[in-house]
Amino acid sequence: MQSEISEFGKADSAADQESRPVHPGTRLFQAVDTGLARLTEAAAALLVLAEVLLLGTSTAARYLFARPFAWSDELASMLFLWLAMLGAVIALRRGEHMRLTAFVRGMRPEHRAWLDALALMLVSALLLALVMPSFEHYEERAVGLTPVLQIGEGWRSGAMLVGAVLMLFTAVDTLIRHATWTQIGLALVGVAAAFGALLWLAPVFEDLGNLSLLVFFLLFVVVSMATGMPIAFAFLIGTVSYIAFATTIPLSIVPSRMEEGMSHLILLAVPLFVLLGALMEISGLAQGMIAFLVSLIGHLRGGLQYVLLGAMYLVSGISGAKAADMAAVAPALFPEMRKRGNHDGDLTSLLSASAVMSETIPPSIVLITVGSVTGVSIAALFTGGLMPAFVGMLALCVVVWWQSRSEDLSSARRFTWGEKGRLLLIALPGLGLPVLIRTAVVEGVATATEVSTIGVLYSVLVGVLVYRRFDWRRIYPILIDTASLSGAILLVVGAATAMAWALTQSGFSQQLVALMALVPGGQVGFLLVSALAFIVLGSVLEGVPAIVLFGPLLFPIARQMGVNEVHYAMIAVFAMGFGLFTPPFGVGFYLACAIGRVSPDVAIKRAWPHLAALLVALILIVLIPWISIGFL
């Protein structure tokens, strides 16, 4: 999920604009950065294609011909790290990294411009501080050889160094382009003063012990996020500052931990499912499913609301971005729903709530992340995620029934059985895709990573041969968009992995275990407190960074308490989704308002019935483990 993006170039007021002649050196720097940006986009697009071809052929070789490629996983992991870092560079240039905007959303543009400049200066300083540690990490790894391909490990670790350098170029260029010289100068002075203060206080931080964690991982991270800085860089600010000023650990450990966190092959499913979601849209699969559902129940009271819920249940989780899921469904249904007298606030609230309901539906990117960082079986998570989402959908259906009792059906169209049959035939390829994906994973045909390539091939073939509406001109932009969104997600994973390692080394995890063990109420009390904690985390951090940061800490406690890991995962994911789409802090709620073109002030007044229904569903998921594990 991407949060609201801060556009630095639009933040300056007339009073802040300065007539600044472009220095020849600045012009050259910007030209070099633009050239690097184009090269980066082309390389990232090729890497996405390479991963699809590599995993697709590897799956076919293993399953169809019983001749697996011994080197495929190693090469895919190496290319994946490069894809993640280049994607992070593209996301930084585009302003597509996940960020918290609750504190800066209402600020005046001229005031926000100063915060934007400070945030970019902090990002630039952070990346500059990571360049040399990344080079040291590269040198350490370059002497070793990969186990299968027997090539230098530097080919893998070089991605961290190249990514840090390119992001530094991008951050500096963005700062020069969109901030005034006064803003740049004052931001530089502020960052230099903060560095000097930290250097002077370093002996004090070492003496404080774990109390210094409050400074680095609470104060620094929260303040950084409050400025609108991307979440990944806010995590790294806290981690790098803690290691540099409160420990004697070399900073090269940061790129090392980030590489480890971003190299899990299971996370390769992130870009591939993002690509699959985009291909579903241009091939017509999603539209076919929606049209069929409308023909079935669209003429009933609340019929289109039920269609919206059903469509989100079917297509959600595949794209990797809730924005894409909602954008695929809402425009097709909202105009007719408004004709029937539905309130704009109710429609937007339902759209937002449907995104919460569908958080656990496979192949959810958050579920894949849970499996990656906690070791829980991906197949078990995919199986266990269907029923919690169904419970959430039933709870929302009750609200829809109540709100649509007096709906005007005068404009509702009734479809004939012949038309329904024709639309069913059109929708069958789309309806079959989720079944194909789940069956391939459960039956062992392909892993959760490999199955996405089957979906990609399926979507292309259906779009070309069945619907005949596949627009090849959109492929290159889609590949770049895939790399950008994936880089934004995976940089958070890497940053949160480094942060979690630092917290573990400090002994914080043991203290957290001891604290959670004191929660009254035994297992049920622990689960209720966990649900509340994940709601808060979801509203602040969003699903992926929250689960990467706290999953390795809380899941072992759940095991000690005797809680089934799949059950705990469903509670965590559903609760984080609830927080993400709950006003006033949940960014997802404002994203739903933007897609529905409804003012948040209008929607927020109508959101509470849907949120109450989802809260009831969450409590049921907490108290009834069978909902999560009954079909395992």
DSSP string, 240-277: HHHHHHH----TTHHHHHHHHHH--GGGGHHHHHHHHH
| pLDDT at residue 18, as a whole number | 41
Residue 462 included in any domain: no
Residue 400 included in any domain: no
DSSP character at residue 210: G
Query: With the C-alpha atoms ordered 515, 517, 521, 524, is the resulting torsion angle positive or negative?
Result: positive
Lookup result for tokens 């929302």: 396
Close Cβ partners of 113 (under 8 Å, ≥ 6 residues apart): 8, 11, 12, 13, 16, 179, 183
Extract the tokens encoding 45: 């697009």
Average pLDDT score over the chain: 81
| pLDDT at residue 324, as a whole number | 60
Range of the domain at 109: 23-263
Q: If 0-12 CB within 10 Å is exposed, 13-18 middle and 19+ buried, where does residue 26 land? A: middle
DSSP character at residue 96: -
DSSP, collapsed to helix, strand or coil, labels residue 583 as coil
| pLDDT at residue 114, as a whole number | 87
Residue 588 included in any domain: no
pLDDT along the chain (632 residues), means of 10: 38 39 61 84 94 87 80 87 94 82 73 86 94 92 85 89 93 86 91 92 82 84 84 89 89 90 76 79 78 80 82 67 66 73 81 85 80 84 90 92 77 81 86 76 71 83 83 89 86 82 74 71 86 81 71 83 91 89 72 72 82 94 93 81
Close Cβ partners of 551 (under 8 Å, ≥ 6 residues apart): 369, 370, 373, 374, 572
Close Cβ partners of 264 (under 8 Å, ≥ 6 residues apart): 372, 373
| pLDDT at residue 4, as a whole number | 37
| pLDDT at residue 337, as a whole number | 76
Residue 170 included in any domain: yes
CA distance 462 to 565: 37
Report the amino acid identity of residue 92.
Answer: L
Residue 152 included in any domain: yes
Residue 121 included in any domain: yes
Q: Is the peptide bond before 584 cis (omega within 30 degrees of 0)?
A: yes
| pLDDT at residue 541, as a whole number | 62
Question: What DSSP letter does each residue of 183-204 carry, written as one string?
Answer: HHHHHHHHHHHHHHHHHHHHHH
List, for residues 479-512, the tens digit of each pLDDT value.
998 899 888 878 887 887 888 788 777 777 667 6
What separation in angstroms does the CA of 46 have from each of 39, 180, 207? 11, 36, 50
Extract the tokens encoding 326: 């909602």
Residue 163 included in any domain: yes
Residue 60 included in any domain: yes
Number of domains in the chain: 1
User: What's the residue count for the chain?
Assistant: 632
HSE-CB of 580 using CA atoms within 13 angstroms: 35
Question: What DSSP letter does each residue of 354-414 carry, written as one string?
Answer: HHHHTTTSSS-HHHHHHHHHH---HHHHHHHTHHHHHHHHHHHHHHHHHHTTT---TTPPP
CB 374 within 8 A of CB 551: yes
List, for residues 284-302, the tens digit of each pLDDT value.
777 787 788 888 877 777 7
DSSP, collapsed to helix, strand or coil, labels residue 99 as strand
CA distance 486 to 154: 23
